[in-house]
Amino acid sequence: MTATHTGTEVQVHQDTTVIGLVGFAHSISHFNSLLIPSLIPWLMPAFGLSYTQVGGLMTVFFIISGSGQSLAGFAVDRIGSLWVLCFGLFAMALSATLLACATNYPTLVVVAVLAGLGICVFHPADFGLLNRRVSPARLGHAFSVHGLSGYLGFAACPVLIVGIASVAGWRIAALSDAALGGVALAFMLSCRRLLDDREAAAETKPASTAGAAAETASARGAPLAFIRSPVVWLCFCFFFFATMAVAILQVFAPVLLNNVYGLSLALAGTSLTAYMLGAAAGTVTGGFVANRAGHARVVACALGSAAAAALLVASGLPPGWAVPAILGAMGFGVGIAGPSRDLLVRQAATRGSGKAAYGRVYGFVYSGLDFGFALVPMIFGPMLDAGHYSPVLYCIAVLQILAVLTALRVGSSSQVASLRTA
């Protein structure tokens, strides 16, 4: 009895440590992804940049990040999540260091490339570690902490980087970001025995020799077999639609709310903050919900409520003072869906190649995030230029409804039955 209790305590301690370390690394990745946008007010006059050139930097960043995620997933499955994660932290620190030393626009392009290479590894590496090093009973909470840490990283970067740049200059701010990445890298390396998931992958192979051989052959002999899975493509589409809905708010919320409701830019920005805080609170709640209910049903209900809130905002009927609260409720719904969404992807990842394919499936599926972000300015910028503000708000609801439909398709009974190999 005592030995069993002690073993449980050790497992809980290990799970908690892994979740904390991966969450910390994830927050650093989100923090770093906003480094260039946060420093735009200083970079534009320092280098004489136009908005087109600034937009070009972000396009390079998202293209590298989106295409690199799939490749990073293959690396995770081949050499393990830890070393891929360490590469990402190193690349981000190098990118920030180079930014601090930059003297021309081509150097800024290289900075964007390095930043994209660094960011692209995190979803496949993070989820590879969590799935292989955390007990299944605590995965819902693990995914909740992972999502929450990303929101915290987003929230912290503008405050800290802008604050440092205002006091000490933008180059010192960039060096501070590099130092933060170096600290995170040191933490990962100091805990490398705990985070090395290559042994964990070997330990979780099927019990039978035949099962193990089949899984290994599938993973090594047909590394692209997962591309043929309709469920994987549905997961990709889910992330693509859901991310576009969120990206519209993140990029255009102040302009939309100012023109539809006459809100000041300050109050419109507060509304976006309310959305982010709601999403963070929903992510924490979603960690508990994900362990107790069907994942597809949770995602559908949560995003369905978010779509209803989006339709309400798009209608222009609520008074302006109520908009921040409605966006907060929308964010809460999106946040609740997060952990269950990640567990749905885990089901898809175990189809065919099993646990050996975690990295490549997560890498491919989560690349939908980057491609969604990359397309939003191209599609909705011209709509706003033409003065179509309310239709853009309606598009947010439509995209969330499409995300709901794809989530339900992923979680349909016939497909779930075929995926239960985890």
Mean pLDDT of the chain: 80
CA distances from 377 to 58, 103, 365 (A): 11, 28, 21
Last residue of a domain, one of 169, 204, 239: 204
| 200 and 245 belong to one structural domain | no
Tell me whether residue 3 is in a domain: no
The long-range contacts involving 376-385, CB below 8 angstroms and separated by at least 24 positions, are 376/244, 376/247, 376/248, 376/251, 377/55, 377/251, 380/248, 380/251, 380/252, 384/252, 384/255, 384/256
Could you say which DSSP state residue 351 is in? S
Tell me whether residue 383 is in a domain: yes
Tell me whether residue 218 is in a domain: no
| 161 and 278 belong to one structural domain | no
Q: pLDDT tier at 4 (50, 70, 90 boundaries)?
A: low
Closest among 304, 22, 300, 9 to 141, alpha carbons compared: 22
Rounded CA-CA distance 135/154 in Å is 28
What number of H helices and E strands is found in the chain? Answer: 19, 0
Last residue of a domain, one of 151, 171, 204: 204
Tell whether the model's pLDDT for residue 345 goes beyond 70: yes
| 150 and 97 belong to one structural domain | yes
Residue type, 23: G
The H or E element spanning position 26 is helix 2-33
CB-CB contact of 148 with 24 (8 Å): no
Q: pLDDT tier at 107 (50, 70, 90 boundaries)?
A: very high
Q: Give me the mean pLDDT over the 124-150 stretch.
A: 83
Q: How many domains does the chain have?
A: 2
| 182 and 238 belong to one structural domain | no
CB-CB contact of 54 with 42 (8 Å): no
Tell me whether residue 180 is in a domain: yes
Take residue 257 and report the two structure tokens written for it.
């709310």
| 186 and 276 belong to one structural domain | no
Tell me the pLDDT tens digit for each residue of 192-207. Answer: 887 776 654 444 444 4
Tell me whether residue 193 is in a domain: yes
Closest among 133, 20, 129 to 73, alpha carbons compared: 129
Rounded CA-CA distance 146/172 in Å is 29
> Given this model, what pLDDT does residue 246 score?
82
Output the domain CATH number for residue 168.
1.20.1250.20
> Given this model, what pLDDT does residue 154 score?
77
CB atoms within 10 A of CB 419: 20
> Given this model, what pLDDT does residue 338 score?
80
- Pick the more confident residue, 203 or 150: 150
| 191 and 272 belong to one structural domain | no
Greatest C-alpha distance within the chain: 70
Rounded CA-CA distance 217/18 in Å is 29
Tell me the pLDDT tens digit for each residue of 362-377. Answer: 778 878 887 888 788 7
Spell 340-369 as b/e; 16+ CB within 10 A means b: bbbbbbbbbbbbbbbbbbbbbbbbbbbbbb
Range name among 45-54, 187-196, 213-222, 369-378 with the lowest pLDDT average: 213-222
Q: Give me the mean pLDDT over the 197-218 stretch.
A: 47
Tell whether the model's pLDDT for residue 325 goes beyond 60: yes
Q: pLDDT tier at 272 (50, 70, 90 boundaries)?
A: confident
| Maximum average pLDDT range among 35-44, 151-160, 245-254, 406-415 | 35-44
Q: 382 is in which domain, residue-wise?
A: 228-419
Q: Give me the mean pLDDT over the 127-150 stretch.
A: 83
Q: pLDDT tier at 210 (50, 70, 90 boundaries)?
A: very low
Judge if pTM exceeds 0.95. Answer: no
CA distances from 119 to 29, 62, 116, 335 (A): 6, 9, 5, 21
| 46 and 108 belong to one structural domain | yes
| 144 and 285 belong to one structural domain | no
CB atoms within 10 A of CB 17: 15
| 172 and 121 belong to one structural domain | yes
Tell whether the model's pLDDT for residue 27 goes beyond 80: yes
Rounded CA-CA distance 266/261 in Å is 13
Tell me the pLDDT tens digit for each residue of 233-264. Answer: 888 888 899 888 888 887 777 778 888 888 88
| 386 and 277 belong to one structural domain | yes
Last residue of a domain, one of 170, 204, 238: 204
Rounded CA-CA distance 23/14 in Å is 14
Rounded CA-CA distance 125/69 in Å is 10
Compute CA 159 distance to the chain's CA centroid, rounded to the nearest angstrom: 20
Rounded CA-CA distance 329/312 in Å is 11
> Given this model, what pLDDT does residue 180 score?
92
Rounded CA-CA distance 111/24 in Å is 23
Rounded CA-CA distance 12/182 in Å is 28
Tell me whether residue 319 is in a domain: yes
| 262 and 370 belong to one structural domain | yes
| 313 and 370 belong to one structural domain | yes
Tell whether the model's pLDDT for residue 301 goes beyond 60: yes
Q: Give me the mean pLDDT over the 31-37 stretch.
A: 85
Take residue 421 and report the two structure tokens written for it.
């190999």
Tell whether the model's pLDDT for residue 67 goes beyond 80: yes
Tell whether the model's pLDDT for residue 416 goes beyond 50: no
